[in-house]
Amino acid sequence: MQTDVKPIGPIPEKQESTTPAGTERTKARKVYVPLVDIVEKDHVLTLVADLPGVDEKGVEIAIEKNILTIRGQIGCEIPEGFQLRYEEYGVGDYERSFTLPNEIDRDAVQALMKDGVLVVSLPKVKQAATRKVPVIAG
């Protein structure tokens, strides 16, 4: 039985991350922009990032001011005594930053890493419920 499974749209090519002007990287290694999906429910934004080759020890998530930065470091090295002769899949680390809306509860952010997929839960701040204030006759 043959099934024709085709992507909905074009599969994006792996893109190298750019370094902000006036800065340099501390490692001589390629850094790629991970592909990310962001979905929203009533009380939470969920960010799903593809970081193939990265495990939970290689992930760093930082929130500084209103910027969420994800970094993924892979441990894949060429074995000692071997030389890379041909490469189709660019090996490198990952980095991407996002501006967070003010409604995100920065203290409640959680992350889960499994099989090269990072899921970051960004809960929204609980809004104070509207209430009526009783007026007392004086």
SS3 of the chain: CCCCCCCCCCCCCCCECCCCCCCCCCCCCCEECCCEEEEECCCEEEEEEECCCCCHHHEEEEEECCEEEEEECCCCCCCCCCCCCCCCCCCCEEEEEEECCCCECHHHCEEEEECCEEEEEEEECCCCCCCCCCCCCC
- Residue 1, pLDDT score: 42
Enumerate the domain spans of the chain.
Answer: 31-76+88-123
Give me the residues of the chain with pLDDT under 70, please: 1-28, 76, 89, 128-130
Question: Which residues, at least 6 apart from 95, have a Cβ–Cβ distance to it below 8 Å?
Answer: 17, 31, 32, 33, 34, 69, 70, 71, 72
- Residue 2, pLDDT score: 44
- Of the options 2.60.40.790, 3.40.1280.10, 3.40.80.10, 3.30.450.20, the CATH number for the domain spanning 31-76+88-123: 2.60.40.790
- Residue 85, pLDDT score: 81
- Residue 42, pLDDT score: 85
Q: What does the pLDDT look like over 4-22, one tens digit per residue?
A: 544 555 556 666 666 655 5
